[in-house]
Amino acid sequence: MIKSLPLYFYRYCLVACGLFFLSETAQAQTDADALMIPKNYFCTGVVYTHSDWKNYWEGTFKRDNANIGTLSTNSFMVVGNYGLTNKLDILAMAPYVKTNASQGTLKGQSGVQDLTVALKYLAFTSEIGKGIFSIHAIAEGSVPLTNYEPDFLPVSIGLHSKSVSLRGLLNYQTGRFFVAGAGQYVLRSNITIDRNSYYTDHLIYSNEVNMPNVSNLLFSAGYRSLQLNIEGIVSQTTTQGGFDIRKNDMPFPGNKMNMTTVGGLAKYSFQDLTGFELTVGGNYVVRGRNVGQSTSLFAAVYYILDFNKKTKN
């Protein structure tokens, strides 16, 4: 059974650095929030993520994972964000991923996964009532960095598909409280596997696998200040096609993989250590189809650099 789409989880939790509505104090952000970093600011950091599951959905049927026990995934991800202008950021990330099964004969895999690069644009802002409403557009692309094996689920470190996506985000903040909603659509390229035939709902004589596209809806709300952010998140990921895992069969890259997750995060900016920030958070899969019911936790440390100071000097 496949882990709960770590490829997409890493992208949705891509952490860099930013400003909220061009404030002159930088703070950590995700690629699905309303934070922006101003021109000539750069933020870099390292994110550690751990997830595990022992129950999964075979189609819509929930069952335990007696053959491999608990499937765990650990990743270390390097991230960065640079303000090209006051309304346009460029973000990048690349994770190292390691998987492990606590029982059975499946050997865990490890390696560098995919490079993801995103452009985040502040398209519109307006005062509405006592708050500020903003619209953001995020364009994103990813390519595999290594020749890892996708056809070894659930211990594969990824799906080895190239992708491009577009996300629209709406945010409203009044005082220190905010609500936001986002929608994303991901186009994925087909992949090739190391065998000449495979079975979906019929036998296919080919090593090329059709990878269905993916949509994601996200809602978040919380408290946001210059020093502390607390955020709750609900996310729905839906595969636009694919097929269910057959009874007692291995999962496959072209499976339908849907999931609903709930989670949250907290971010803290250190006053005594200028430029340093700490983020912690996690999520839990409450409903799924052909995914593991995983619990994921992450922690990250970031450092923010102001290149405007060097320019002025």
Q: For residues 160 and 150, give the distance between their C-alpha atoms in angstroms, rounded to a whole number.
A: 6
Question: Per-residue confidence of the chain (313 residues) as pLDDT tens digits?
Answer: 444 433 333 333 333 332 222 233 344 445 667 788 889 999 999 999 999 999 999 999 999 988 899 999 999 999 999 999 999 999 999 999 999 999 999 999 999 999 999 999 999 999 999 999 999 999 999 999 999 999 999 999 999 999 999 999 999 999 999 999 999 999 999 999 999 999 998 999 999 999 999 999 999 999 999 899 999 999 999 999 999 999 989 999 999 999 999 999 999 999 888 889 999 999 999 999 999 999 999 999 999 999 886 655 5
Rounded to whole angstroms, the Cα distance separating 35 from 171 reads 10
Residues contacting 57, CB < 8 A, separation 6+: 1, 63, 288, 289, 290, 291, 293
At residue 19, the pLDDT reads: 25
Task: Output the pLDDT for position 312.
Answer: 53
Provide the pLDDT for residue 218: 97
Cα–Cα distance for residue pair 11/157, rounded to 1 Å: 14
> Can you give the pLDDT at residue 148?
98
Q: How far apart are CA 241 and CA 292, in angstroms?
A: 19
Reported pTM? 0.88
**Segments making up each domain of the chain, as ranges:** 41-306
For residue 121, give the nearest of 134, 104, 108, 106 by alpha carbon.
Answer: 134
pLDDT score at 7: 34
The pLDDT, as a whole number, for residue 13 is: 31
- Which superfamily does 41-306 belong to? monomeric porin ompg (2.40.160.40)
In angstroms, the CA 140 to CA 220 distance is 20
